[in-house]
Amino acid sequence: MELIIFIILITLGYVSGTIVEKKHYRSIENREEKFLSLPAVTIKKCGPTTKKVEQVRLVSGNAVISVDYFKRILAGLRNVFGGRVKSYESLIDRARREAILRMKREALFSDVILNIRVETSSIGQDANRKKNIGSIEAFAYGTAVTYRK
Amino acid sequence: MILTNIESVPGKNIVEHFGVVSGSTVRAKHVGRDIMASLKNLVGGELKGYTELLQDSRDEATNRMIAQAGQLGANAIVNVRFATSSVAQGASELYAYGTAVRVE
């Protein structure tokens, strides 16, 4: 009986997790293309420009993404053999890119975002007590500068 | 109040420093959200409840920092940083700090 539940959970996790991830990557790629004209840089200076600065403000975005049951089991197995844990790589990648996109959405009418920082923290530890990380938060912030037209 | 996370405010000059200002808040999630989150942990995807909760908490920390800077008579905060730490199981602290300055 327990084995049946386990198999059901794994299948559910695999199917829905794959669908969710593919959908999310598609939407991330679409939006990244849309925001190509708004550069987000890690340098702190505006660069050589003669334009007058109109507005400066702090913009930020965050996202909490969780892995599915199948990937968590997979990562648990990886812990035994060692090596690259691909399922968590894609999880963190999605969270970071999503956070940066949300930051850019907040800075929609700005010209450049300076000094962007991305930090991650794992939360909800007691929601997935059995295995260590299951959900991760990425938080991106930077200074949006708008030039006078 | 102008906030930036670089050392200066582009297009303006810093005329006075007021020192470090900070704001923090500790938040826990309620049980309903935890249950929803553990269900979401099976299928994967974004945990919207947590995203909102953390965003709200950061806004709160930022507002406290802004209030402190306002009391000092500053009109901008430069070099703002955010930090997250988990104090206990299920509760996390959001901390925002920066340097209060007056710009012209």
For A91-136, the pLDDT digits (tens) are 889 999 999 999 999 998 899 999 999 998 876 555 445 445 567 8
Interface touch B50/A117, C-beta < 8 Å: no
The pLDDT tens digits of the residues spanning B15-64 come to: 999 999 999 999 877 666 677 777 777 778 888 888 888 899 999 999 99
Tell me which of B9, B12, B31, B41 to substitute to probe the interface with A (most A C-beta atoms closer than 10 Å).
Answer: B41
Interface touch A135/B41, C-beta < 8 Å: yes
ipTM above 0.90, yes or no: no
Instruction: With H, G, I as helix, E, B as strand and everything else as coil, classify residue B23.
Output: strand
Quickly list H helices, chain A: 2-34, 69-81, 86-106
Among A147, A42, A59, which Cα is nearest to B11's?
A147
Domain B2-103 adopts which CATH fold? Translation Initiation Factor IF3 (3.30.110)
Tell me which of A23, A56, A91 to substitute to probe the interface with B (most B C-beta atoms closer than 10 Å).
Answer: A56
Structural domains present in chain A: 2-147 (3.30.110.70)
Residues of chain B positioned with their CB less than 8 A from the CB of A24? 45-46
- Look up residue B84 and give its two tokens: 């997250």
Min Cα–Cα distance to chain A from B48, Å: 7
